[in-house]
Amino acid sequence: MKKLIPFLMTALALPALGANYTVVPNWAKVPTGEKQIGSMHGDVAVSSKGEVYVSVQGGPKAGIQVYSATGKYLRNVPGAPGDFHGFVIKKLAGGEHIYGARLGGQNILKLTLDGKVKLDIPGSVIPAKLKNGNRLRLTAMDVAPNGDLFVVDGYSSDRIHHFDKAGKYLKSFGGKKEFGTKTLHKICIDTRYNPPRILGADREGLRLIHISLEGKFIGVYAKDVLRPAAVAVHGDLAVAGEIKGRATLYDKAGKVVAQLGHNTAPGETATNQLPPAKWRAGIFSAPHGVAFNAAGDLFVAEYTVFGRIHRYNVKR
């Protein structure tokens, strides 16, 4: 407990803008009958009911696992793939759906919350000249307010591919040369601005960038980020999950307002091998997915062969 006291004092002494977070220790419970959640190299999202969806790539319950608000495992989404490296849940005029980019399958799926396929976009609709060696490594996606889909090829070309809400391919933009990115790992639609824009996690560039929905580079939103792996927005805040063991919250101007779970122990970050015996409540090893619920509570999914999900509650 003594090790946690300095961290908790830091978390309780955060500035305004709703960034006053405290950790919920050991929030996610291992599914009944299992020894661990399963190998995770994916993402996390929260439904309008407050249920937490997590992509798990390995283990007996691989796919998308669903947890209650109290961290109890509820079920798996039937038929959901185990290679959703990045996915979101969005509730639009047509209902609430899971939108996911498959890392291995090279396709994009829109599913109901109970797993029915509503849209399946094959990677073949993207022109071959816009791929590296005719191969996609899709790492994340998000959905604009009008329903358009934006998908990033973050383990290959760094290009963002734009589709309409019906799945029709429209265009591609960006890339390593065009935007100077080194690994555009994940993206989100930043609705804090009018019009909305894309917020991108340039992991190996150690920065967050803004891009217009038309594909124009707007600028650098934040620098000196510890290898950002995932981004999300809520209200006036943005969060970056940093694979080197930290989560940072920013205001609309890109100013740091809080840093959570910072792990400074040598050898414990940017790895999926840290054993549970070395875990400390609220301290990260390799954040790989981030999401807010409607109240602004923060969920962080780790990159780990064991499976780990954190929850931070915002001060009410």
User: Tokens representing 316?
Assistant: 């009410």
Q: Does a structural domain hold residue 202?
A: yes
pTM for this prediction:
0.93
Give per-residue pLDDT as tens, 211-248.
Answer: 999 999 999 999 999 999 999 999 999 999 999 999 99
* Spatial distance between the Cα atoms of 302 and 310, rounded to a whole number of angstroms: 8
In this prediction, residue 132 carries a pLDDT of 85
Domain of 200, in residue numbers = 2-305
Find out whether 208 and 202 touch, Cβ atoms under 8 Å.
yes
Q: Does a structural domain hold residue 38?
A: yes
In this prediction, residue 12 carries a pLDDT of 35
Which of the four pLDDT bands, split at 50, 70 and 90, describes residue 134?
A: confident
Q: Does a structural domain hold residue 313?
A: no
| Three-state DSSP string of 215-275 | CCEEEEEECCCCCEEEEEEECCEEEEEECCCEEEEECCCCCEEEEECCCCCCCCCCCCCCC
Question: Which residue's structure tokens are 């220790």?
Answer: 25
Q: How far is CA 256 from CA 209, 216, 218, 237, in A?
A: 15, 25, 20, 10
At position 310, the amino acid (one-letter code) is: H
The total number of structural domains that make up the chain? 1
Q: Specify the CATH number for the domain of residue 127.
A: 2.120.10.30
Report the share of the chain in percent with pLDDT over 70.
94
Q: Does the structure show a pLDDT above 60 at 176? A: yes
Q: Does a structural domain hold residue 315?
A: no
CA torsion sign for 275, 280, 286, 289 is positive
* Spatial distance between the Cα atoms of 204 and 261, rounded to a whole number of angstroms: 21
* Spatial distance between the Cα atoms of 262 and 11, rounded to a whole number of angstroms: 11
Q: Does a structural domain hold residue 310?
A: no
Q: Does the structure show a pLDDT above 60 at 1? A: no
Give per-residue pLDDT as tens, 267-292.
Answer: 999 999 999 999 999 999 999 999 99
In this prediction, residue 7 carries a pLDDT of 35
Q: Does a structural domain hold residue 108?
A: yes
Question: Buried (b) or exposed (e) across 214-236, using 16+ Cβ within 10 A?
Answer: ebebeeebbeebbbbbbbbbbee
Q: Does the structure show a pLDDT above 90 at 9? A: no
Nearest Cα neighbor of 64 from 51, 50, 78 is 78
Say how many CA atoms lie within 13 Å of 154 toward its Cβ.
Answer: 26
* CA 201 from centroid of its chain's CA atoms: 10
* Spatial distance between the Cα atoms of 111 and 210, rounded to a whole number of angstroms: 28
Please tell me which residue, 200 or 17, carries the higher pLDDT value. 200
- The pLDDT mean for the chain works out to 93
Q: Does a structural domain hold residue 97?
A: yes
In this prediction, residue 264 carries a pLDDT of 97
Q: Does the structure show a pLDDT above 80 at 19? A: no
User: Tokens representing 39?
Assistant: 């190998």
- Averaged over 92-99, what is the pLDDT? 96
Find out whether 301 and 287 touch, Cβ atoms under 8 Å.
yes
* CA 212 from centroid of its chain's CA atoms: 20
Q: Does a structural domain hold residue 162?
A: yes
* Spatial distance between the Cα atoms of 261 and 180, rounded to a whole number of angstroms: 29
* Spatial distance between the Cα atoms of 295 and 45, rounded to a whole number of angstroms: 14
Give per-residue pLDDT as tens, 71-88.
Answer: 999 999 999 999 999 999
